Structure 1
């Protein structure tokens, strides 16, 4: 078991982090990720928790994290922090968005009251905060670092948080060249616009994606609303189509990387690839698990 401190003094206050996040959202420079996670959080039940737990078990190759420390960087709804806790890990979670932090804290209160699970509002780009975290057996950041606005600085930070013989579990949006630049423009427009334009962008994006993913779009159209089963039923990893779509269209800042670039970056820092799951050159995230040698 690593000696990662669970309650080091914070280098920045939650109040400052909240203000920074709210300012970026109000200026159209950041998507309100936390509000989307808050809506998704209302759907979390035991079925979704089991789905997240199974996903984590399959990727890590174990169903027992007893005695291991787990850091969730950009915890979102807190679903995977809860999954790690269920597997026996000692968990610490943080997120830049205060609504995500509130959702994660509610999840803890509802599903794991009194547990050894610390949750904070902070940024992976805050060097003072990161320095006070210590190191962890497993550092997990799924679909987060490419939304910081400084992907490689964030990657450098998470690499430094992994203990010797520990694991780094990250997923990064795939670099699709021109199509990625197109989606960057869509995301900027979404965050600069009002509700009517946002609804149009969501509908247009769903139809555009339907060229390659017709079954997903058909399920969404059949659902017809947030409360209907085909639209919000659990997907792989316990997520939902509706909230994934909103996150994809609105998710800004937005950066991408090829699998080769992520691999080279981590190899230069003495990490060895243990697990790779790509999106086969298409839209979405490439998933990596690296071991620190």
Structure 2
């Protein structure tokens, strides 16, 4: 377990995020803002001190600033993700209230980092190597009455398979990864067509999912190691000091193409 806590054992998410910046445009930024408004309707982000744990490309941090957060702190354990976020900060000129640092969630404490109106970690804590300890560490950074927003992989029947696949993929050479991406995309097209859906339209409209990009997300999914998943009831059991404000969850299912993330917004009591 201790090996999995080290950045060196993780999939290189940051390389993928730096590449993602090459396709980032105003439409994707607007979709990212819409995704945050869904989690934080009304004025919940206005004048908030906002912590983004596992900032990736920095897109969510940028969206938070645009939605009224007064102070944004972006943290990631991956140096390339930190570089990507700093690059986005420079590209958009949002320097004043936006701080970007290299730091693990396991190194953050209320004593060293303070507490926040909003602590946000979307699709990150299940990649730390110790998901529930990461959830606990992140939750301690929420001030009384503040909001804690997390997205975690939902548990499916295929989680064991995906854990093995991700461990292999994250260590595989680029040409093997490319072959696995092609196989996954082919399976995606077959499964969507059998379900009566248009896979080309799904790929074309993919940016409406929080501003993301289909091909970058395929690479992210196949390589996202370490990997853990959770049931909604487990999330609530591990956070007894919080009350649920809103959630966006779906049944686990088989997970043939992956598990997807369930989203939770909770308030510290």
Establish whether TM, by shorter chain, passes 0.5: yes
2:147 equivalent to 1:167: yes
CA contact (8 A) 1:47 1:238 kept: yes
Deviation at 1:157, TM superposition (A): 0.5
Counterpart-to-counterpart distance in 1, 2:144 and 2:215? 39
Counterpart-to-counterpart distance in 2, 1:213 and 1:38? 29
Who is 1:182 aligned against?
A: 161
2:239 equivalent to 1:260: no
Deviation at 1:45, TM superposition (A): 1.8
Local SS of the residue matching 1:207: helix
Counterpart-to-counterpart distance in 1, 2:198 and 2:117? 36
Deviation at 1:279, TM superposition (A): 3.2
Deviation at 1:133, TM superposition (A): 0.9
Deviation at 1:61, TM superposition (A): 1.3
Give ranges in structure 1 of 5+ residues lacking alignment. 1-19, 224-229
Q: 1:279 aligns with which of 250, 253, 267?
A: 250
CA contact (8 A) 1:30 1:191 kept: yes
Counterpart-to-counterpart distance in 2, 1:40 and 1:204? 21
TM-score of the aligned structures, taking structure 1 as reference length: 0.81
Pairwise mapping of residues 162-241 of structure 1 onto structure 2 (< 5 A)? Answer: 162-177=142-157, 179-210=158-189, 212-214=191-193, 215=197, 217-218=199-200, 230=204, 234-241=207-214
CA contact (8 A) 1:37 1:76 kept: yes
Who is 2:256 aligned against?
A: none
Which is further off, 73-82 or 46-55? Answer: 46-55
CA contact (8 A) 1:64 1:87 kept: no
**Matched residue pairs, number?**
255
Counterpart-to-counterpart distance in 2, 1:216 and 1:136? 42
Who is 2:103 aligned against?
A: 122
Query: C-alpha offsets along residues 227-269 of structure 1, whole Å, 9 cap, x if unaligned?
Result: xxx3x96232111111111100010011111111011111x2x
Deviation at 1:111, TM superposition (A): 1.0
CA contact (8 A) 1:138 1:162 kept: yes
Give ranges in structure 2 of 5+ residues lacking alignment. 1-5, 254-258
Who is 1:40 aligned against?
A: 20
Counterpart-to-counterpart distance in 2, 1:144 and 1:135? 19
Deviation at 1:62, TM superposition (A): 1.8
Q: CA RMSD in A?
A: 2.0
Who is 2:80 aligned against?
A: 99
